[in-house]
Structure 1
Amino acid sequence: MAKEASGISRRALLSSGGLAALGGALAACAPGEPAPPERVADGVQPVPPMGEHQAGISVPTAVQPHLLLGVYDLEGDTGTVLARIGESILALTSGDHPALAGIAPGDLTVTVGVGPRLVQQVAPDGPGTEPLPAYPREEIDDRHRGGDLVIQVCASDPLVPPLTLAAVLENTPGLAERWRQRAARGPSVPVRDGHSAPRNVLGFVDGIAAPVTPDELAESVWIGDGDLAGASILVVRRMEIDLPAFHRLPVAAQEGVIGRERASSAPLSGGAIDDDVNLQAKSPDGKYLIPVDAHVRRAHPRPAGVPLMLRRSYSMDDPLGLLFVSYQAELRTFTQTMERMSESDALLDFTRTTAAGVFLALPGFDAQHPLGSTIFGAS
């Protein structure tokens, strides 16, 4: 059974209004903490690290262009390690941490998840205890599969993620690195109010269909009950892409692989970028407008019988490919989608996955309620 921090559950904390004052703007630091700068260069706004959910999942809505993600094994007391990481996050995002050497944190976010081995110790039957299954087109050794801890650092300034991660690791004994990956996102393309998505290395807009509204996020992304309320299931997969082979295809064939027009991002079934794909639409000669093995068909949530997942994927240049990152309330949202894709997704013919893991992205925290304390206890 999961431990409760300081004798108060997360549900009680939320219902009592303990986070209401905090969420009254989610912009104020706890008493005695340095306030983050109100604005930094180029109009980049700081992202408050405290709240019901961790920053870096559904906020900011305009996702930062630079990411550094690391996966680690953990030795020692889990609650103590997580609390120290949370202290580092609060200090680094405050704008008053020597590790950034005078560089403004800007829209820095640090998102932390724990692997199945650790979750099983405190909640053996709860979400986050299942390992990620193996799938076709994987070439993953033991070091690059699974792990106890993931730290995802995002920012607009490319200097901020490596300096931030170095500072977190320096202040946190007991972490042994398995692997890390840097990645980036190009300029975002407007999809609809409150949502935009970038083009990936293939040249197509990535992440068009996504939960955006509070109701959509509650249905698709957040775990809603118990000590895990406010948490989410994080899946990460590092996929190398044979980009030269994909680019040798004529544009029309590339569009058939994806199921969207490359230039406009409109679905091949017709409409605009924000229109849902019509999986039943056919040409006058009876052929599906969206091919039967197109990525948007195989990854569509409706045939899989699952909600939308929230994707925060980034393109890579070393190795060339895509760092797939998704958040969902249940692992089955990912696994049932991946099962359909594995059957016949034309895009997967150009990929090989070289690292993968699933983690419980922890609930939000603040200075009085340390990171992970509702699950692993206060340090």
Structure 2
Amino acid sequence: MPSADRPPSRRAFLDAAGVTVAAGLLAGCSGDSARSDRPVDPTPSAPPTPTPVAVTGRHQAGVTLPRSAQPHLLALVADLGETVPPGPILAELGETIQTLAAGSDPRLLGLSPGDVTVTVGVGPRLVQAVGATLPGATDLPGFSRERVDSRERGGDLLIQICAGDALLPPLVAAALLDQAGDRVQERWRQFGRRGVEVPVAEDRTAPRNLLGFIDGIVGPHTDAEQERDLWLAGPPAVAGGTLAVLRRMEIDLTRFAALSVAEQEAVFGRRRASGEPLSGGGVDSAPGLNAKTPEGRYLVPVDAHVRRANPTVVGVGHMLRRSYSIDTPAPGLLFVSFQNDLRTFTATLSRMDTSDALLPFTTTTASATFLILPGYDPQRPLGSTLFG
């Protein structure tokens, strides 16, 4: 973070010099009319200090806290050795996460942890070993438009690292993998970033995605909605956790960009600039799925994404959805959703599979689901309610 005692940077010096030269040229042309009584400050202002996020509590950080997700994410998927017991390694990871978030771990190399969050989940194989009927014991089925290598399907362990500083996720990942040692084998990892945040409600924002549309408008945002659709109420071993789905998708940007704006909006069912439903209302308004033109045409097309994925139409709860733009291994999105019933995702995607105007522009190249473990603290280690 810039210091008030630090000399101006070369960029700041050049900026200030440019202002001085421009003022001199204007003075030469128009005399005193170009003078300004306001001094030019060549020192760049320091960025705001990120607010630390509490690590311990009923829920893990990185799902609903912070309220607006950090712009940078690293999702790391790994396997545990066949004979490695999950309990001890999860407890160690939880302790390491606490030291990293406190800034007391030397593996941060002097960087401030800022608003970093680490969220840990376990895959179906580990959950099934505890109980075949537990939430999280069921894997995702296959869907259409997938091209997923076996190494990038499933996994035993998810480590989701989010931060406002893009330098932190790889450092945190390296520290956690170092802590795990050869007990963990990495499968794949994906960096992602959120686009510019756009106001969608009085106290809420959502980012634009790689296709230019506002993403994540609908979801369980209030405490009551989150208790209903997001957090697991039981059994006790998983209470306070949730279920995560990760899907990495390539997007045919060239073909989508070739559509007119009206055609792009018909794909989503929303206005690209404002995020408002094509049926009218504000950006936070529910799409009017029965609204028609005087000629009898639906204002929200029958294959529009907001219609096909609408939770009321599908008959499921709301997902807390996060999309992160990616540019490797190909341009696209890393889709992350949190829900307390895996059917919320599978039923939605099954309905989209039959007729969703957005899906033909996508190809899924990685897919996994995880039980996000309940929250923890020094007296109740990470994973202890399930593997203790």
TM-score, length-scaled by structure 1: 0.88
Partner SS, residue 187 of structure 2: strand
* Residue in structure 2 matched with residue 333 of structure 1 by the alignment: 344
* Residue in structure 2 matched with residue 13 of structure 1 by the alignment: none
CA–CA separation in structure 1 for the residues paired with 2:195 and 2:259: 23
Q: CA deviation at 1:193?
A: 3.4
* Residue in structure 2 matched with residue 359 of structure 1 by the alignment: 370
| Aligned 8 A contact 2:120 2:160 in 1 | yes
Q: 1:272 aligns with which of 282, 293, 305?
A: 282
Partner SS, residue 325 of structure 1: strand
Letter in 2 for 1:87: E
- Are residue 281 (structure 1) and residue 291 (structure 2) matched? yes
Higher mean alpha-carbon deviation, 213-222 vs 189-198, is at 189-198
| Aligned 8 A contact 1:46 1:106 in 2 | yes
Q: Which runs of 5+ in 1 are unaligned?
A: 1-39
* Residue in structure 2 matched with residue 182 of structure 1 by the alignment: 191
1:91-106 mapped onto 2 (5 Å cutoff): 91-106=99-114
| Aligned 8 A contact 1:293 1:345 in 2 | yes
Q: Sequence identity, in percent?
A: 55
| Aligned 8 A contact 1:189 1:198 in 2 | yes
Q: CA deviation at 1:166?
A: 0.4
Q: CA deviation at 1:188?
A: 1.1
CA–CA separation in structure 1 for the residues paired with 2:268 and 2:223: 29
CA–CA separation in structure 2 for the residues paired with 1:322 and 1:113: 21
Structure with the larger RCO, 1 or 2 (CA within 8 Å, 6+ apart): 1
- Are residue 148 (structure 1) and residue 159 (structure 2) matched? no
CA–CA separation in structure 1 for the residues paired with 2:118 and 2:131: 24
Please list the CA deviations of residues 341-374 of structure 1 after superposition, one character each: whole Å capped at 9, or x if unmatched.
Answer: 1010110000000000010000000111110000
- Are residue 81 (structure 1) and residue 89 (structure 2) matched? yes
| Aligned 8 A contact 2:49 2:114 in 1 | no
| Aligned 8 A contact 1:183 1:316 in 2 | yes
* Residue in structure 2 matched with residue 158 of structure 1 by the alignment: 166
1:364-375 mapped onto 2 (5 Å cutoff): 364-375=375-386
Misfit runs of 4+, over 3 Å: none
Partner SS, residue 215 of structure 2: coil
Q: 2:74 aligns with which of 68, 75, 95?
A: 68
Letter in 1 for 2:189: R
- Are residue 239 (structure 1) and residue 249 (structure 2) matched? yes
* Residue in structure 1 matched with residue 178 of structure 2 by the alignment: 170
Q: CA deviation at 1:43?
A: 3.1
TM-score, length-scaled by structure 2: 0.86
- Are residue 113 (structure 1) and residue 121 (structure 2) matched? yes
Aligned residues: 338
Q: Which runs of 5+ in 2 are unaligned?
A: 1-45
CA–CA separation in structure 1 for the residues paired with 2:348 and 2:188: 26
* Residue in structure 2 matched with residue 293 of structure 1 by the alignment: 303
CA–CA separation in structure 2 for the residues paired with 1:41 and 1:85: 31
Please list the CA deviations of residues 250-281 of structure 1 after superposition, one character each: whole Å capped at 9, or x if unmatched.
Answer: 00000000100000110000011011111111
Letter in 1 for 2:128: Q
| Aligned 8 A contact 1:61 1:194 in 2 | no
Letter in 2 for 1:295: H
| Aligned 8 A contact 1:279 1:290 in 2 | yes
* Residue in structure 2 matched with residue 5 of structure 1 by the alignment: none
Letter in 1 for 2:287: V
Q: CA deviation at 1:41?
A: 5.3
Please list the CA deviations of residues 170-199 of structure 1 after superposition, one character each: whole Å capped at 9, or x if unmatched.
Answer: 011211011100010022111113421100
Please list the CA deviations of residues 294-317 of structure 1 after superposition, one character each: whole Å capped at 9, or x if unmatched.
Answer: 111111100111111001221111
Question: RMSD value over aligned CA atoms?
Answer: 1.0
* Residue in structure 1 matched with residue 33 of structure 2 by the alignment: none
Give the greater-gyration-radius structure (CA): 2
Partner SS, residue 307 of structure 1: coil
- Are residue 195 (structure 1) and residue 204 (structure 2) matched? yes
| Aligned 8 A contact 2:271 2:277 in 1 | yes
CA–CA separation in structure 2 for the residues paired with 1:372 and 1:41: 36
- Are residue 315 (structure 1) and residue 346 (structure 2) matched? no
| Aligned 8 A contact 2:250 2:333 in 1 | yes
